[in-house]
Amino acid sequence: GQNIDQPTEMTATEGAIVQINCTYQTSGFNGLFWYQQHAGEAPTFLSYNVLDGLEEKGRFSSFLSRSKGYSYLLLKELQMKDSASYLCAGEEGAGSYQLTFGKGTKLSVIP
Amino acid sequence: KAGVTQTPRYLIKTRGQQVTLSCSPISGHRSVSWYQQTPGQGLQFLFEYFSETQRNKGNFPGRFSGRQFSNSRSEMNVSTLELGDSALYLCASSPELDSGYTFGSGTRLTVV
Of A48, A95, A99, the CB nearest to B45: A99
Q: Kindly calculate the radius of gyration of chain A based on its CA atoms and give it in whole angstroms.
A: 13
Among A79, A84, A81, A89, which Cα is nearest to A39's?
A84
Distance from first CA to last CA of chain B, Å, rounded?
37
Selected residue of A97, A100, A105 to mutate for chain B interface (largest B Cβ count, 10 A): A97
Measured between CB atoms, which of A31, A43, A103 is closest to B98? A31
Burial (0-12, 13-18, 19+ Cβ within 10 Å), A88: buried
The percentage of chain A sitting over the pLDDT mark of 70, rounded to a whole number, equals 92
pLDDT at B1: 64
All residues of chain A having their beta carbon less than 8 Å from the beta carbon of residue B97 are: 97
CB atoms inside a 10 Å sphere around CB B63 = 13
Q: What is the pLDDT of residues A35-87, one digit of tens each?
A: 999 998 899 999 999 899 999 989 999 999 988 999 999 999 999 999 999 99
Provide the number of CB pairs (under 8 Å) joining chain A to chain B.
Answer: 55
* Chain segment B2-14, per-residue pLDDT in tens: 799 999 999 999 9
Which residues are CB-neighbours of B19 under 8 A, at least 6 positions away?
A: B11, B13, B77, B78, B81, B109
Q: Chain B residue with minimal CA distance to A96?
A: B56
Minimal C-alpha gap between A22 and chain B (Å): 15
Three-state DSSP class for B66? strand
Whether residue A42 and residue B103 make contact (CB cut-off 8 A), yes or no, is: yes
B45: nearest CB among A41, A95, A100: A100
**Residue B25 in contact with partner chain A when CB distance is under 8 A:** no
Q: What are phi and psi of A78, to 5 degrees?
A: -55, 140
CB of A95 less than 8 A from some CB of B:
yes
Residue A27 has pLDDT above 70, yes or no: no
The answer on pLDDT for A11 being more than 90 is yes
